[in-house]
Amino acid sequence: MGITLHPKLSSLMQRLLTAAVGMPILIGVCLWGALPFAVFTVLLALIGRSELQRAYAQREIYPNVLLTLLGALLPGGVFLLRPTLGVNGGGFVASLPLLLTLACVLIMASLWETAVASHTSKIHTGKNLAYGLLCGAYISLFGGIALLRVCSWHGPVGVLPRLDHGALLVLVTAACTMAGDSAAFFVGRRLGKHKLAEGLSQKKTTEGLLGGMAASLLIGGITGSLLLGSLTFGLLVGVLAGILGPLGDLFKSALKREIGIKDFGSLLPGHGGILDRFDSLLFTAPVVVLVVTTSGPWY
């Protein structure tokens, strides 16, 4: 159940109003602290999980609830396990507790599906587990956003040196990604002539893709210089957002086309559901984390 705006409002106006309300909330929670942001990210992941479960139920596919729940709770696990993940020290170390938890949940999910299959004539054990892994892995990408918030920045200092480095990294990455999304929408709507992926979306165009990449690069340079004191890193994030953001959008479109739905939800007027809004950031944030935690202060 989503927010309902006046039916006469155009789709564009709905997008702008939703962004005007949503962006201050995202920025405010991000600046509030790592714990509130982790809770907020888990909430987003849980809503996204619900959207996926409802969407697949329309096709009589029921992803294993334990696996999808594990994916949705991963952002909280990232926050709790951040010392063992090595994000504060600049390196990434695989967390044994996290891997053991995944193994235990997978065993429990298998036992659950086996128990269900033993009491029904319709056996979908493999399909439920497979789609549970797919949905759980997809939702777990929210953990990349949460992990970015607790990363340490070892580069130069921007105009707001007292702000938490992780918050600045989230803001730069989100700004590049959302700028690319918006520019692709407007450029494609006005100048788009060549279909980008006609089998997945009739509205996405090559012109929109190029416009979005240019906007991501521009915003990356600006925000990277101002917030992090690094034009180089800002441009790198812009490149990643310009490439990975559209890929995340196309992957979401492929899932929706397979299911046969227009949007995953209606929570955000003009955008759709949580997955429809955060699809690009889900693909961009984990790669930015990888760059920050493994590359050192070359930027």
Confidence category of residue 153, pLDDT binned at 50, 70, 90: confident
Whether residue 91 is predicted with pLDDT greater than 50 in this model: the reply is no
- 260: closest CA among 4, 5, 61, 3? 61
Whether residue 243 is predicted with pLDDT greater than 90 in this model: the reply is yes
Q: What is the pTM (predicted TM-score) of this model?
A: 0.87
pLDDT number for residue 72? 94
pLDDT mean over 161-180: 91
pLDDT mean over 236-241: 96
pLDDT mean over 210-228: 94
pLDDT number for residue 108? 92
Q: What is the rounded distance in angstroms from the CA atom of residue 6 to the CA atom of residue 274? A: 20
pLDDT tens digits along 269-285: 767 789 988 999 999 99
Q: What is the rounded distance in angstroms from the CA atom of residue 55 to the CA atom of residue 49? A: 10
Whether residue 190 is predicted with pLDDT greater than 90 in this model: the reply is no
pLDDT mean over 193-198: 80
- Please name the amino acid found at residue 46: L
Tell me the residue ranges of DSSP E strands in the chain: none
pLDDT tens digits along 109-149: 999 889 888 887 778 888 999 999 999 999 999 999 999 99
Q: What is the rounded distance in angstroms from the CA atom of residue 164 to the CA atom of residue 151? A: 10
- Please name the amino acid found at residue 130: A
More confident residue, 37 or 3: 37
- Please name the amino acid found at residue 122: K
Q: What is the rounded distance in angstroms from the CA atom of residue 269 to the CA atom of residue 94? A: 39
Q: What is the rounded distance in angstroms from the CA atom of residue 98 to the CA atom of residue 92? A: 13
Which of 105-114, 153-162, 226-235, 252-261 has the weakest average pLDDT? 153-162
Q: What is the rounded distance in angstroms from the CA atom of residue 122 to the CA atom of residue 103? A: 26
Number of H helices, E strands in the chain: 11, 0
More confident residue, 143 or 22: 143
pLDDT mean over 21-31: 87
Give the start-to-end residue ranges of the domains of the chain.
Answer: 11-294
β-sheet bridge partners, residue 272: 268
pLDDT mean over 211-221: 95
Whether residue 39 is predicted with pLDDT greater than 90 in this model: the reply is yes
- Mean pLDDT for the chain overall: 85
- 190: closest CA among 217, 216, 209, 208? 208
Q: What is the rounded distance in angstroms from the CA atom of residue 260 to the CA atom of residue 184? A: 24
